[in-house]
Amino acid sequence: MMIFSTTDQLQNREIVEYLGLVSGMTYSINYSYKGMSFKDMFSMKKYYEHVEAAIEEVKEKTFQKLQDNAQKLYADAVVGINVDMEISAGGAVMISITGTAVKLK
């Protein structure tokens, strides 16, 4: 199982090798209304629930891409993770995640 951390160290684990920078990026267009009924578009509660679920889906896809890239380097973990998210008024979302792939003792 891959370990992800926003810190540059892992408690009780020793980093023995830094393998390089890895990243994942996902861009989705018009996520905000996808799959919503016309009536639900006018319910702010339903709209925000839908937006939150859509962002979570894009974030999970991005973390999977990060993990895939780290596994190509035979990494045990990714440290120093930074998550950047941009949401446009038109309903597009872009999430970029970067970190350092490492080997653990």
Q: Measured between alpha carbons, how far is 83 from 79 in angstroms, rounded to an integer? A: 12
Instruction: Say what the pLDDT of residue 16 is.
Output: 97
Instruction: Say what the pLDDT of residue 40 is.
Output: 66
Instruction: Say what the pLDDT of residue 36 is.
Output: 62
Q: Measured between alpha carbons, how far is 72 from 6 in angstroms, rounded to an integer? A: 20
Residue 35 CB coordination number (10 Å): 9
Instruction: Say what the pLDDT of residue 27 is.
Output: 86
Tell me how many domains the chain contains. Answer: 1
DSSP letter assigned to residue 7: S
Instruction: Say what the pLDDT of residue 1 is.
Output: 86
Instruction: Say what the pLDDT of residue 54 is.
Output: 80
Which range of residues forms the domain containing residue 25? 3-103
CATH number at residue 59: 3.30.110.70
DSSP letter assigned to residue 18: E
Instruction: Say what the pLDDT of residue 99 is.
Output: 98
Q: Per-residue pLDDT tens, the chain, 105 aa: give them.
A: 899 999 999 999 999 999 999 999 998 875 555 566 667 667 777 777 777 888 888 999 999 999 999 999 999 999 999 999 988 776 778 999 999 999 999
Q: Measured between alpha carbons, how far is 77 from 55 in angstroms, rounded to an integer? A: 24
Residue 77 CB coordination number (10 Å): 21
